[in-house]
């Protein structure tokens, strides 16, 4: 289980704007630790965003997304009070799912 | 040579002034704080990393703005440190100097993030100086040295002054921020000569 | 630690995902191994990529650190289905691919790693067409030395 | 952003004969037209603007809040009764008034050392347990410091150093700021005593100038994009000292407290804006 995400979902007119920060090291597999040993790759591979059970974004990521990833996007058809849920699965099969209420 | 004038200046610096702060309560308190804060430093680390030599102590005491007599003392001590490459060539290989100028590694100790074994010591000149004009990520603690070689005749006399300035800049400008690269043993005489070439050689990117 | 399939199955069981949605979140291993944009298009299909003014690609010209380079991509191409980010000189060039459902705006903000100064491409796929915008981003070196 | 052309002689020397002579032969003293027109700072500013919001340090604040309110340690107690100087459990505004004298331990503590005191006295941890792996990205201690600092948002730094020991440490901190040592002759003052200076493209605060000192001290702890981690001020100082090629001072040591008392004193009045985001 990863650490909690920080999700903001704000309704503005007909749009809902979503901003997400995810706690993840996004290790590329090419960095070395202090002892000179390679740190194994460990990164988020897929992200899915839903609003009221409807998929509003899917993403596939490689090792080049920055550590503690940030994602911002906008969708139509949402409203205040809806639940926005973000789910990620990483290269080790670990995952995390958090939700927030659209304000 | 003007440097000889500097070297020849009589210095009236008194020993008492050197340690003025050490005799006060504050100096003792600082010493105590250092002893309590670096309890795992080895005797060798104290000697080379924490204890001050006379020049460091004087510059610290005077907040890097020493009065005239102290400036003279520092310049005299610093001029006495000059050493030159065995082959006598004060301008070496600019390509090697170029590498040293952008290399910032070496000399890091401690447990959290020490250098890996075998890491080279660099001059890290770009941290403080503009050198090759097209290298945009250059610092400004020191003056811009872009086009430096074009300001002077590329003569042995020029090379000597540049060499000495890199070896120990305090001989010219007491309490300058610039490290005493040669005098402190950070760069070898050959490395200093290579850096001189990087600054002065017409083919060097500094002067193109 | 569970495997990906197991996790997705768990989400399905928990009612978070429908089986169709779980497939949409599959990871295209071959795409993340390509060496340039052409190879990616050969893999994904469609016409060769052409530049497009309809793509607004906002990024700094200079990145203070290559570990975090902020990007904002906005496609004005009708029917945009996919937005991909390609960092030309990274060891593997594809950084991310976003699938845009019809009611989602073709606009993405994210942050990528850059191994060195190079071109970064925003590739838009819309109805078999491949369109791109490109930005040259300079990665600067850091301060005190390692 | 303040910016000067890079032509000034590095250190002003007052009226020395040597200095006068040397200025005449100083090879680096002349202004160079070349290099002056290269102004990458506008480009960097755009980079910083695009990273202004959505600071990953917010994740540390969330973790820190959970650590503050979750029963932990042998006594299974929370930190909610921790006295950070404004009374047990008062967290708002506490960071802006640290380091300060704490009568219960009879010494001046910064936020890290105070948190360790609370973790040992309230939660029953040993100091070793409380500080375990604290320099690792996302450590408990860094998350706690980030959470506490965030609770001083907008509060002016107020470290007058009036207690006798605080005043002593401020004076010691100033001496340490100027104390040159090691193979590169560095002191804090080497990089941080002039306006408008940069190491490569990184702006350097001038801690002799209150406005510049405020700009720095109000924005730590900060998420460092080069480290993918939040760093506290102690961590920042330890790494400055490492970069000066001196040995690492010990965690919570008087040297680190003294420097922080002096730095905070220089920055008094600056409204806290932590956690920041930096290179």
Which tokens sit at B175? 């309490």
d(C-alpha C4, C-alpha C26), whole Å:
9
Chain D: touching chains (3 or more CB pairs < 8 Å): A, B, C
Nearest to B137 among C141, C145, C146 (CB): C141
Instruction: Find the mean pLDDT for residues D112-138.
Output: 95
Task: Mention every residue, 6+ apart, whose C-beta is less than 8 A from residue B8.
Answer: none
The pLDDT of residue D44: 86
ipTM value of the model? 0.87
Q: How far is CA D30 from the centre of its chain?
A: 35
Mean pLDDT of chain D: 88
Q: Within 10 A of B42 (CB to CB), how many other CB atoms are there? A: 12
Phi, psi angle pair for C135, to nearest 5°:
-130, 135
Which tokens sit at B66? 């020493």
Beta bridge partners of D77: D72
pLDDT > 60? residue C20: no
d(C-alpha B85, C-alpha B92), whole Å:
10
- Sort out which chain A residues have CB atoms less than 8 A from C91's CB and list them: 28, 30
Is B113 close to A34, i.e. CB distance below 8 A? yes
Chain B: touching chains (3 or more CB pairs < 8 Å): A, C, D
Provide the 3-class DSSP secondary structure of residue B49. Answer: helix
Chain A residues touching chain D at CB-CB below 8 Å: 3-6, 19, 21-23, 25-26, 66-68, 70, 72
Residue B137's closest CA among D43, D30, D224?
D43
Among A18-22, A60-64, C23-27, C95-99, the range scoring the smallest mean pLDDT is C23-27
Q: Within 10 A of B31 (CB to CB), how many other CB atoms are there? A: 12
The pLDDT of residue A62: 97
Nearest to D17 among B38, B68, B109 (CB): B68
Nearest to A36 among B112, B113, B116 (CB): B116
Phi, psi angle pair for A47, to nearest 5°:
-130, 140
The whole-angstrom distance between A29's CA and the closest CA on chain B is 19
CB A31 within 8 A of CB A38: yes
Instruction: Find the mean pLDDT for residues A45-55.
Output: 96
pLDDT, tens only, D232-251: 999 999 999 999 999 999 99
pLDDT category, B144, cuts 50, 70, 90? very high
pLDDT, tens only, B74-124: 999 999 999 999 999 999 999 999 999 999 999 999 989 888 888 999 999
Which tokens sit at B137? 């990520």
Answer whether C140 touches D (CB < 8 Å). Answer: yes
Which tokens sit at B5? 């004038």
The pLDDT of residue D27: 39
CA distances from A94 to A87, B76, D66 (A): 11, 66, 21
CB D59 within 8 A of CB A21: yes
The pLDDT of residue C145: 62
Q: Percentage of residues in chain D with pLDDT exceeding 70?
A: 86
pLDDT > 50? residue D223: yes
- Sort out which chain D residues have CB atoms less than 8 A from A23's CB and list them: 56, 59, 63, 138
d(C-alpha B126, C-alpha B145), whole Å:
10
Answer whether D171 touches C (CB < 8 Å). Answer: no
pLDDT > 70? residue D35: no
Cis ω for the linkage preceding A60 (within 30 of 0): no
Instruction: Find the mean pLDDT for residues A25-48.
Output: 91
Residue of A nearest to C107 (CA): A73
Mean pLDDT of chain B: 89
| HSE (side-chain half, CA atoms, 13 Å) at D266 | 26
The pLDDT of residue C25: 60
Instruction: Find the mean pLDDT for residues C17-41.
Output: 76
CB B176 within 8 A of CB B75: no
pLDDT > 70? residue D28: no
- Sort out which chain C residues have CB atoms less than 8 A from B122's CB and list them: 145
d(C-alpha C54, C-alpha C78), whole Å:
9
Q: How far is CA C46 from the centre of its chain?
A: 17
Residue with tokens 């006060």: B24
The pLDDT of residue B19: 41
Q: Which DSSP string corresponds to C84-97?
A: EEEETTSSS-EEEE
pLDDT > 70? residue D126: yes
Beta bridge partners of C112: A65, C69
pLDDT category, B9, cuts 50, 70, 90? very low
d(C-alpha B6, C-alpha B72), whole Å:
8
> Which of D38, D41, D46, D47 is the best residue to mutate to test the C interface, defined by the most C CB atoms within 10 Å of its own CB?
D47
Spell A23-44 as b/e; 16+ CB within 10 A means b: bbbbbbeeeeeeeeeeeebbbb
Beta bridge partners of A59: A47, C98
Provide the 3-class DSSP secondary structure of residue B3. Answer: helix
> Which of D28, D238, D251 is the best residue to mutate to test the B interface, defined by the most B CB atoms within 10 Å of its own CB?
D28
d(C-alpha B4, C-alpha B208), whole Å:
33
* Residue D35 backbone zone (phi > 0: left; psi -120 to 50: alpha; other: beta): left
Instruction: Find the mean pLDDT for residues B144-171.
Output: 95
Of the two residues D230 and D8, the one the predictor is more confident about is: D230
Nearest to D226 among C58, C65, C70 (CB): C65
Mean pLDDT of chain C: 86
pTM, to two decimals: 0.88
Task: Mention every residue, 6+ apart, whose C-beta is less than 8 A from residue C137.
Answer: C59, C60, C61, C62, C63, C69, C114, C117, C118, C119, C120
Which tokens sit at D206? 């001038």
CB B29 within 8 A of CB B37: no
């Amino acid at each position: 289980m990863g650490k909690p995400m920080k999700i903001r979902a704000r309704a503005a007119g007909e749009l809902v704007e979503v901003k997400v920060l995810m706690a993840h090291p996004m290790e590329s597999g090419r960095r070395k630790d202090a002892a000179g040993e390679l740190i194994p790759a460990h990164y988020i591979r897929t992200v899915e965003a839903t609003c009221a059970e409807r998929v509003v974004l899917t993403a596939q990521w490689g090792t080049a997304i920055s550590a503690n990833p940030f994602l911002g996007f906008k969708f139509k058809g949402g409203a205040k009070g809806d639940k926005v849920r973000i789910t990620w699965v990483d290269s080790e099969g670990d995952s995390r799912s958090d939700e927030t209420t659209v304000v | 040579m003007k440097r000889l004038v500097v070297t020849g200046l009589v210095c009236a610096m008194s020993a008492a002034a050197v340690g003025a702060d050490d005799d006060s309560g504050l100096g003792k308190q600082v010493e105590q704080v250092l002893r309590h804060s670096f309890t795992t430093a080895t005797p060798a680390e104290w000697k080379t990393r924490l204890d001050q030599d006379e020049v460091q102590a004087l510059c610290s005491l005077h907040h890097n703005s020493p009065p005239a007599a102290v400036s003279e003392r520092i310049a005299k001590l610093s001029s006495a440190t000059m050493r030159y490459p065995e082959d006598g060539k004060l301008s070496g290989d600019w390509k090697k100097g170029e590498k040293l100028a952008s290399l910032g590694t070496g000399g890091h100790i401690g447990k959290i993030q020490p250098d890996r074994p075998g890491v080279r010591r660099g001059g890290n000149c770009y941290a403080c100086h503009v050198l090759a004009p097209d290298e945009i990520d250059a610092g400004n603690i020191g003056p811009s040295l872009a086009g430096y070689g074009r300001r002077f005749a590329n003569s042995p006399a020029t090379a000597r002054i540049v060499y000495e300035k890199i070896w120990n800049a305090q001989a010219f400008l007491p309490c300058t921020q610039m490290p005493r690269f040669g005098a402190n043993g950070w760069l070898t005489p050959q490395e200093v000569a290579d850096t001189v070439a990087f600054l002065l050689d017409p083919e060097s990117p500094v002067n193109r | 630690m569970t495997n990906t399939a197991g996790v997705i199955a768990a989400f399905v069981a928990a009612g978070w995902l429908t089986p169709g949605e779980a497939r949409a979140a599959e990871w295209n291993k071959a795409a993340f191994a390509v060496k340039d944009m052409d190879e990616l298009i050969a893999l994904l299909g469609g016409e060769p990529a052409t530049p497009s003014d309809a793509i607004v690609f906002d990024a700094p010209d200079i990145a203070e650190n290559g570990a975090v380079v902020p990007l904002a991509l906005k496609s004005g191409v009708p029917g945009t289905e996919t937005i991909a980010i390609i960092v030309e000189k990274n060891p593997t060039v594809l950084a991310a691919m976003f699938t845009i459902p019809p009611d989602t705006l073709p606009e993405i903000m994210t942050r990528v790693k850059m191994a060195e100064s190079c071109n970064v491409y925003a590739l838009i796929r819309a109805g078999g067409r491949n369109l791109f915008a490109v930005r040259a981003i300079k990665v600067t070196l850091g301060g005190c030395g390692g | 952003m303040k910016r000067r052309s890079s032509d000034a002689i590095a250190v002003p020397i007052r009226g020395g004969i040597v200095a006068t002579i040397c200025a005449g032969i100083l090879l680096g003293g002349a202004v160079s037209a070349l290099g002056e027109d290269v102004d990458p700072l506008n480009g960097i500013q755009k980079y910083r603007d695009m990273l202004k919001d959505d600071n990953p340090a917010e994740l540390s604040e969330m973790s820190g809040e959970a650590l503050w309110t979750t029963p932990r340690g042998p006594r299974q107690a929370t930190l909610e009764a921790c006295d950070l100087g404004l009374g047990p459990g008062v967290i708002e505004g506490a960071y802006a008034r640290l380091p300060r004298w704490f009568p219960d331990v009879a010494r001046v503590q910064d936020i890290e050392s105070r948190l360790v005191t609370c973790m040992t006295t309230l939660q029953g941890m040993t100091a070793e347990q409380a500080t375990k792996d604290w320099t690792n990205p996302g450590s408990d201690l860094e998350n706690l410091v980030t959470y506490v600092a965030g609770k001083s948002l907008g509060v002016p730094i107020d470290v007058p150093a009036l207690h006798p020991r605080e005043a002593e440490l401020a004076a010691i901190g100033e001496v340490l700021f100027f104390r040159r040592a090691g193979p590169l002759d560095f002191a804090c003052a080497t990089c941080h005593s002039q306006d408008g200076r940069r190491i490569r493209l990184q702006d350097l605060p001038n801690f002799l100038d209150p406005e510049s000192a405020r700009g720095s001290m109000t924005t730590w702890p900060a998420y460092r994009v080069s480290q993918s981690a939040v760093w506290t001020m102690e961590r920042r100082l330890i790494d400055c000292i490492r970069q000066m090629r001196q040995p690492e001072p010990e965690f919570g040591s008087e040297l680190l407290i003294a420097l922080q008392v002096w730095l905070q004193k220089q920055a008094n009045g600056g409204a806290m804006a932590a956690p920041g985001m930096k290179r």
